């Protein structure tokens, strides 16, 4: 891929996300997400391998289904309310479909199946884009409609994401798949608190992005793709290996690291909402 075409592709990704974030109309938000999706496909398929082609196809099909669900939901709502405004999503059925389509777009359980496979089939740099930048637009839309979504749906999906993200990462030796399950787990926390305190959900996702970015960049720098690679980098780059270890502990939410702060605040909010059982499950 030439530098000019790469520039166009990255412009598409950036403009698509910004367009979705700044729109108040479902059609414009949908166009932004479509532009974003079509722009990232050449980046995923850049390594000329069958794994990369497979990952591109999986990503495209999943995102296309999610976009179709999103368009169906907003059209049904427009028939009932007479407008395409994002904040006017009143129909319960439309809201449920929209929530599911956004969860599918960001890779939250129970529609998470595509994320570990896509990340495993592409490069570390592309995996970084998918786990960070590509989450911003769907999370923003979910934030905008969070008042209309039934808390039961968000909490159920959130708890399921936490469980799948936590258990799925245990048996992995591939770092990209581990990071994918880490992303699913973190989205669980974000979605659960979205039902009660949307601003905290945004803080949680941005804290996660800030912590994940350096992990991927250091893994790219050291060309480590498996746990075995990571265990042998200690001799060549001690500082970087130690940094990755500390950042991973931070991402998992261990005190006294940064990643513990949003999780502590989320648990505090859940307990203050009299959801003690839920908070215990989250721990």
* CA–centroid distance for 15 within its chain: 18
Bridge partners (DSSP) listed for residue 226: 174
Cis omega before residue 227 (within 30°)?
Answer: no
3-state secondary structure the chain: CCHHHHHHHHHHHHHHHHHHHHCCEHHHHHHHHHHHHHHHHHHHCCCCCHHHHHHHHHHHHHHHHHHHHHHHHHHHHHHHHCCCEHHHCCCHHHHHHHHHHHHHHHCCCCCCCHHHHHHHCCCHHHHHHHHCHHHHHHHHHHHHHCCCCCHHHHHHHHHHHHHHHHHHCCCCCEHHHHHHHHHHHHHHHHHHHHCCCHHHHHHHHHHHHHHHHHHHHHHHHHCCCEHHHHHHCCCCCHHHHHHHHHHHHHHCCCCCCCCHHHHHHHHHHHHHCCCHHHHHHHC
Which residues lie closer than 8 Å to 75 by C-beta, 6 or more apart? none
- Look at residue 228 in the predicted model and tell me its pLDDT: 86
- Look at residue 2 in the predicted model and tell me its pLDDT: 84
- Structure tokens belonging to residue 178: 């581990």
Which residues lie closer than 8 Å to 243 by C-beta, 6 or more apart? 214, 218
Distance from C-alpha of 267 to C-alpha of 168, rounded to nearest angstrom: 22
* CA–centroid distance for 10 within its chain: 19
Closest CA to 33 of 165, 175, 142, 196: 142
- Look at residue 233 in the predicted model and tell me its pLDDT: 83
pLDDT in tens, 273-282: 877 766 676 6
- Using a pLDDT cut of 90, give the percent of the chain over it: 76
Look up tokens 């999906």; give the residue.
157
Full pLDDT tens readout for the chain, 283 residues: 688 999 999 999 999 999 999 999 999 999 999 999 999 999 999 988 999 999 999 999 999 999 999 999 999 999 998 889 999 898 899 999 999 999 999 999 889 999 999 999 999 999 999 999 999 999 999 999 999 999 999 999 999 999 999 999 888 899 999 999 999 999 999 999 998 999 999 999 999 999 999 999 999 998 888 988 888 888 888 899 899 999 999 998 888 899 999 999 999 988 888 777 666 766 6
What is this structure's pTM?
Answer: 0.93
pLDDT in tens, 19-52: 999 999 999 999 999 999 999 999 999 988 999 9
Closest CA to 69 of 158, 141, 14: 141
Distance from C-alpha of 227 to C-alpha of 67, rounded to nearest angstrom: 35
pLDDT in tens, 198-229: 999 999 999 999 999 999 999 999 888 898 88
């Amino acid at each position: 891929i030439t530098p000019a075409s790469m520039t166009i592709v990255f412009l598409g990704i950036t403009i698509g996300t910004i367009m979705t974030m700044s729109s108040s109309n479902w059609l414009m938000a949908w166009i932004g997400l479509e532009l974003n999706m079509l722009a990232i496909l050449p980046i995923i398929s850049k390594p000329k391998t069958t794994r990369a082609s497979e990952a591109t196809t999986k990503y495209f099909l999943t995102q296309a289904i999610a976009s179709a669900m999103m368009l169906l939901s907003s059209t049904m709502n427009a028939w009932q309310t007479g407008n395409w405004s994002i904040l006017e999503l009143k129909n319960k059925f439309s809201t449920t479909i929209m929530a599911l389509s956004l969860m599918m777009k960001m890779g939250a359980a129970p529609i998470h199946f595509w994320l570990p496979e896509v990340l495993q089939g592409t490069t570390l740099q592309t995996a970084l884009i998918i786990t960070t930048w590509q989450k911003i637009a769907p999370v923003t839309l979910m934030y905008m409609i969070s008042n209309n979504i039934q808390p039961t749906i968000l909490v159920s999906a959130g708890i399921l994401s936490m469980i799948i993200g936590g258990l799925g990462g245990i048996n992995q030796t591939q770092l990209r798949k581990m990071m994918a399950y880490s992303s699913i787990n973190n989205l669980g926390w974000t979605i659960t608190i979205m039902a009660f305190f949307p601003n905290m959900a945004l803080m949680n996702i941005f804290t996660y992005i800030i912590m994940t970015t350096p992990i991927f960049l250091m893994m790219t720098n050291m060309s480590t793709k498996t746990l075995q690679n990571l265990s042998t980098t200690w001799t060549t780059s001690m500082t970087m290996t130690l940094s990755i270890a500390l950042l991973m502990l931070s991402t998992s939410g261990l005190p006294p690291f940064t990643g513990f702060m949003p999780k502590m605040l989320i648990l505090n909010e859940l307990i203050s909402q009299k959801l003690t059982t839920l908070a215990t499950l989250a721990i």
